[in-house]
Amino acid sequence: MANTNEQYTPWKFLDEFRGKDFAGEWPTVPEMFNITVKRFGNKPCFTDFEGPGGSKNTLSYPQVQQKVKQLAQWLAWKGITKGDRVAVTGKNSPEWGTVFLAALSAGAVVCPIDWGLHEKEVVNLLNTARPKIFFVDEEKYDFFKEGKFDYEIYSLSPKCSEEYAYNLAAPEDIALNAPEENDLAAILFTSGTTGTPKGVMLTHQNLVSDAYIAQSRMAIYSTDVFYALLPIHHAYTMQAVFIESLSCGAEIVYGKSMAVSRLMKELKEGQITMLLGVPLLFNKLLAGILKGIKAKGPIVNAVIHILLNISYFVKKLFGINIGKKLFKAVLKQANIYSLRIAICGGGPLAESVFKIYNEMGIDFVQGYGLTETSPIIALNPIDHFKIQSVGQYFFPWMEMKVLDAGEDGIGEIAVRGPMVFKGYYQMPEETAKVFTADGFFKTGDLGWLDKEGYLMLAGRAKNMIVTAGGKNVYPEEIENAFQLCTDINQITVQGYTEDKESKNEEIEALIYPSDDLYARLGLNREQNANMDLVNEEIRQIVAQVNKDLQPYARITKITLLEKPLEMTTTQKVKRNYKK
């Protein structure tokens, strides 16, 4: 059983700093960072591969601290004070991290903006946030610098030397208006890029308490190296990589691209120990590994799969990880041998994928959370994981319950604890809708809890399909069955109504076939490919999956897409298709 008793508190060390380095129950984000500098001295802090020829650059914790102090004093000299907003958008970089910490050190509220949005969408978010200063990457710098806005524009790129974040300095020492733990730290926008933006307000207590409490289910060390590959403006990477690293003195390697060659280089040269990703990343990585194994021939393929089963049996029964030695060559070839832990979040992962990584010797776990919960509220302990679960919630430091559970025990998940957000920015009515009378936040996710506090997710409440027989079908569970299918690039399941009068829903799959399928069939997608062949292949794949589904959950309609559905920057399909 994992360390879940009340006495196991990884943040116990904070007591020696309490009253001296911070005054509240939890330190603020800047106070947490400064405590880490005191504890771990000259350890590497920020690393990227932006040197000459893609060489490695590293800043130590004291070096980052100095850059943060310089920029924070400049912000204060520019008139930024407690409660003012400072916005930032750009690809993952040490400069992005420095701006984040400096803004908070000056008492400001940081507003991270998705760098993948179009300029007009960014403007819409900024019109709501109303920052005084906006730091922007080189891709969008010219657009904002040439425009007429109420906020001043500065750069995350050294190519704009005069406005470059690292070159900004106050002419004299300026006192900082330091924040307190219950002050607002960040506004994260989850929607509304073209309409009314919904901004999640997170306090310093939200972010810091979640960083430390999450460690009650997973130990992280100052020797760890985290890979910031997913967009850092997203709550998942911001917390699980950026803030978690800074809480314990770990190193952050900033990745800017998911291009395979760059990914492989940074995994290898960065000696990454903690890889956090979304299902798409881990599915692609695993598909490549399995393809390489299969290419060695049927005998080798069969032997390796036997060894995989033995490895998993030993790990679950005796707690001994023999996979790392058995599959050392395979893991080294994929540049993931240095990994200590891999964590999947941001969406459901197929149990088969979860299982194979563990068989190969990677301590691979799932986590769960939402932007509104800072975001982590459940993690699978590596010494007591359950492949069917997204994790064990963090009792006794938070509460979780199931609302309006049906006969199957499934209902809406609700939580209460120090990591739950303050509310939606300037949206009191929307805020009231998501809280129960006794203060629990309604997540909008459906699931159930087992006796050990492990959460099993069924899907989003708004995506649930109700069939003619009154059965509830969860699209995500069906989609998961296709995660290792290399012939399908995207599959999204929704309900459709065959009989307009009865309004009963059946199951439709929207499918975008992969380039691999077209290549295997000798077809060119762009040159009027023989869609009959493609249709037949997809029908066979769906028919095979349908055999393992309950009759009421089987796909009865297939729609092939000419273009892929739009995805978020965390590689999830935006479910804004026809319902």
Residues 499-542: tens digit of each pLDDT: 555 456 788 999 999 998 998 898 888 876 678 899 999 999 99
Nearest to 341 by CA among 363, 319, 321: 363
pLDDT of residue 90: 96
User: Which residue(s) pair with 342 in the sheet?
Assistant: 275, 364
For 535, the 3-state DSSP assignment is: helix
Q: Are 109 and 187 spatial neighbours (Cβ–Cβ below 8 Å)?
A: yes
Nearest to 181 by CA among 23, 20, 64: 23
- Indicate if the alpha-carbon torsion angle 336, 342, 346, 348 is positive or negative: positive
pLDDT at 6 over 50: no
pLDDT at 1 over 50: no
Per-residue tokens: 270: 């960065």
Average pLDDT over residues 379-401: 93
Per 3-state DSSP, the chain is made up of helix, strand and coil in percentages (nearest 5) of 35, 25, 40
For 296, the 3-state DSSP assignment is: coil
Instruction: Answer yes or no: pTM beyond 0.85.
Output: no
Which tens digits make up the pLDDT trace of 258-295?
788 888 999 999 999 999 988 878 888 898 899 889 89
pLDDT of residue 569: 64
Write phi, then psi, for 300 (nearest 5 degrees).
Answer: -60, -45
Average pLDDT over residues 61-84: 97
pLDDT at 469 over 70: no
Whole-angstrom CA distances from 279 to 225, 336, 448 are 21, 16, 21
pLDDT of residue 325: 94
479 vs 566: CA distance, rounded Å: 16
449 vs 133: CA distance, rounded Å: 45
Element containing residue 376 per DSSP (H, E): strand 376-379
Q: DSSP assignment of 116-177, as one string?
A: TS-HHHHHHHHHHH--SEEEE-HHHHHHHHHS--SSEEEESSTTSGGGBGGG---SS-----
pLDDT of residue 471: 65
Which tens digits make up the pLDDT trace of 115-132?
988 899 999 999 999 999
Q: Are 338 and 222 spatial neighbours (Cβ–Cβ below 8 Å)?
A: no
